[in-house]
Amino acid sequence: MRRWSELAERVAATTRTSEKTALLADYFRGLTADELPIAAVFLTGRPFPESDQRATGLGWSAIARSVAALAGVPRTALGEAYDRWSDLGRAVEDVLEAAGHHPDPAASPSLPEVAATYAGIETASGPARKAALLGALLARCDPLTAKYVVKVLGGELRIGLREGLVEAAIARAFDRPLEAVKWAGMLAGDIGETAVLARDDRLHDAALALFHPIKFMLASPAEDADEIIARLGAPVWVEDKYDGIRAQLHKSGREVRLYSRDLHDVSGQFPEVVESAVDLAWDGILDGEILAYKNGTVLPFQSLQARLGRKAPSAAIREEVPVIFVAFDVLGVGGGGETAVDPLLRVPLDERRARLTTLDLPLADEGGRFALSHLVSVDSADGLEAAFADARGRRNEGLMVKDPRSGYSPGRRGLGWLKMKKALATIDCVVVGVEVGHGKRHGVLSDYTFAVRDEERGRLVNIGKAYSGLTDAEIAEMTRWFEAHTLQQFGRYRQVEPTVVVEVAFDVIVRSNRHQSGFSLR
């Protein structure tokens, strides 16, 4: 793990993509069979592959307990270091370096040992046991290695590395076509497995499989109708952009599972969809959106939130907030085995949609829990604007505009899909609080809390927070102003003079108990 950490430092030190790729490729070539998949996964900033649903469940308190015990300092020392760096790994390194923690290099853990500890933390019961396992691992790590053990554990690597660069390095290391590596990665959902397949010249073995979710195809944002028509050409297919939960439905026989955008199994949260799909005379994979839907009407996302995070919703909540699955794509059809599936990812969208319409889904207006996405063909910018207004009239966010000839690219924002959204309105707010940012913005005040005036009570009340919308130069300028106009400071947060007014664009305003105003902007 020490060698991996040194590599991460070198990757973080350069801004040149070609140099990052070369560093990774050289490193991959020198790894053993058991090290390669682990190293590749860690370089994506995760303790487990993306398609792996495990989570360590280790929070700040347990990490602070481990580090404080090892360094012989109060737990508050880690918080103070974090306030300096806005980076937990860097804070751990800082605390251990100050404590003079330098164990025997011969005891430094290997990559498989670190991976095994992460797995042990995931299965351990209770924060004390989890903290003990982490503490035992960190005791063998020098400060630099400990820094990256914690970074990977928390999913916050932040070394200027995207998964696409890791794929490029794998292709270069083993002299494989980059597109073949990317395609295998899309299907496998595991960069470690992809690296092994590339090394062994078995990229062709990667296959779409039932109950092995793949990344969802994404859409690039666009606001101008003329630009959309120019980019995609006419005609384009237009679907409503729904305000729900993106989901994949996998079915084989009477087994049905639902997977969320982060590839987690959420079948238990929406049992009525599963029950409605069980008797389908069809096996395969659907892409769609789960919506709160009652009495023929789509309910706002705020209603759907009552269903989220519940492993088994009660009969009462199912009655109060029923859901449907709006299908808009079919990614594969049953291939004759329990998990085998014939992929349709490279089949044009118009052919996939034709397949979808033949599946005889139990539709919501007939007592089922399914619907097909609302779709029309449009051949002009004026037609797009009219379709956008119609979608808003149906209480949806905007439009998904698709090239009917496009394939399905898992995990990619391809040129074949665009999303057309426009802010519903803007509101003038005053900034009342600011907070130190994270990652590349750890040294500036980039997170703003804003408020509106409550005329009845004669005071400002919070209505939301924002983390984007300003350039780096603007944030740097505002940081200097806020530092000079701070009223009170509470750790990373500053209460500031309420004089800076910002215009905030939003899509939806909903009632919320999180803010003093009683409302929240989205």
The pLDDT score that the predictor gives to residue 250 is 97
**DSSP structural state of residue 110:** P
What distance in Å separates the CA atoms of residue 71 and residue 94, rounded to the nearest whole number?
10
The pLDDT score that the predictor gives to residue 492 is 85
What does 255-308 look like in DSSP terms, one character per residue? EEEEEETTS-B-GGG-HHHHHHHTT-S--EEEEEEEEEEETTEEPPHHHHGGGT
Which CATH number belongs to the domain containing residue 493 in this structure? 2.40.50.140
Query: For residue range 369-416, what is the model confidence (pLDDT) as tens digits?
Result: 999 999 999 999 999 999 999 998 888 889 999 999 999 999 888 789
- 377 inside domain: yes
Work out the mean pLDDT of the chain and round it to a whole number: 92
What own/partner pairs with CB < 8 Å and gap ≥ 24 does 6-12 have?
Answer: 6/144, 8/43, 8/148, 8/157, 8/159, 9/144, 9/159, 11/159, 11/160, 11/161, 12/158, 12/159, 12/160
What distance in Å separates the CA atoms of residue 386 and residue 403, rounded to the nearest whole number?
18
Query: For residue range 123-177, what is the model confidence (pLDDT) as tens digits?
Result: 999 999 999 999 999 999 999 999 999 999 999 899 999 999 999 999 999 999 9
- 445 inside domain: yes
The pLDDT score that the predictor gives to residue 336 is 62
Q: Which residue numbers are catalytic?
A: 241
Within this chain, do residues 246 and 146 fall inside the same structural domain, yes or no? no
Within this chain, do residues 87 and 226 fall inside the same structural domain, yes or no? no
Within this chain, do residues 272 and 406 fall inside the same structural domain, yes or no? yes
Within this chain, do residues 378 and 472 fall inside the same structural domain, yes or no? no
What distance in Å separates the CA atoms of residue 132 and residue 125, rounded to the nearest whole number?
11
- 212 inside domain: no
- Tell me the whole-structure pTM to 2 decimals: 0.84
Within this chain, do residues 278 and 356 fall inside the same structural domain, yes or no? yes
Name the band, by pLDDT with cuts 50, 70 and 90, for residue 423: confident
What distance in Å separates the CA atoms of residue 35 and residue 180, rounded to the nearest whole number?
22
- 183 inside domain: no
Q: What residues are paired with 249 via a beta bridge?
A: 258, 286
Instruction: Write down the residue that tokens 């209480």 correspond to.
Output: 395
The pLDDT score that the predictor gives to residue 514 is 77
Contact 244, 396 (CB under 8 A): no
Token output for 122? 């995931």
Share of the chain above pLDDT 70, in %: 99
SS3 395: coil
Instruction: Write down the residue that tokens 């919703």 correspond to.
Output: 313
Within this chain, do residues 380 and 404 fall inside the same structural domain, yes or no? yes
| 329: enclosing H helix or E strand | strand 323-334
pLDDT at 254 over 90: yes
- 88 inside domain: yes
Within this chain, do residues 410 and 464 fall inside the same structural domain, yes or no? no
Instruction: Write down the residue that tokens 């011969």 correspond to.
Output: 106
Distances (CA, A) of 34 to 28, 38, 110, 256, 463: 12, 7, 10, 34, 51
Within this chain, do residues 87 and 148 fall inside the same structural domain, yes or no? yes
The 3-class secondary structure across 440-457, one letter per residue, is: HHCCCEEEEEEEEEECCC
**DSSP structural state of residue 100:** T
Chosen domain end from 103, 125, 154: 154
- 4 inside domain: no
Dihedral sign for Cα atoms in the order 286, 292, 293, 298: negative
What does 472-517 look like in DSSP terms, one character per residue? HHHHHHHHHHHHHTEEEEETTEEEE-TT-EEEEEES-EEE-SSSTT
What spatial distance separates the first Cα and last Cα of the chain, rounded to whole Å?
42
Chosen domain end from 115, 133, 154: 154
Within this chain, do residues 269 and 375 fall inside the same structural domain, yes or no? yes
The pLDDT score that the predictor gives to residue 335 is 66
Within this chain, do residues 457 and 504 fall inside the same structural domain, yes or no? yes
Q: Which of 55, 53, 52, 89 has its CA nearest to residue 191?
A: 52
The pLDDT score that the predictor gives to residue 70 is 95
Give the range of the structural domain holding residue 50, as residue numbers without chain letter. 46-154
- 78 inside domain: yes
Domain count, the chain: 3
Within this chain, do residues 507 and 393 fall inside the same structural domain, yes or no? no
Name the band, by pLDDT with cuts 50, 70 and 90, for residue 482: very high
pLDDT at 417 over 80: yes
pLDDT at 294 over 80: yes
Length of the chain: 522
The 3-class secondary structure across 398-421, one letter per residue, is: EEEEECCCCCCCCCCEEEEEEEEC
Which CATH number belongs to the domain containing residue 139 in this structure? 1.10.3260.10
Name the band, by pLDDT with cuts 50, 70 and 90, for residue 510: confident
Phi and psi torsions of 378, nearest 5°: -130, 140
Name the band, by pLDDT with cuts 50, 70 and 90, for residue 285: very high
Token output for 333? 């059809």
Contact 172, 29 (CB under 8 A): no
Which CATH number belongs to the domain containing residue 282 in this structure? 3.30.470.30
Q: What residues are paired with 332 via a beta bridge?
A: 285, 343
Within this chain, do residues 387 and 435 fall inside the same structural domain, yes or no? no
- 179 inside domain: no
The 3-class secondary structure across 178-225, one letter per residue, is: HHHHHHHHHHHCCHHHHHHHHHCCCHHHCCCECCCCCCCCEEEEECCH
> Residue 211 region, left (φ>0) first, then alpha (ψ -120 to 50), else beta?
left
The pLDDT score that the predictor gives to residue 446 is 87
What distance in Å separates the CA atoms of residue 472 and residue 478, rounded to the nearest whole number?
10
The residue-averaged pLDDT of 99-119 equals 96
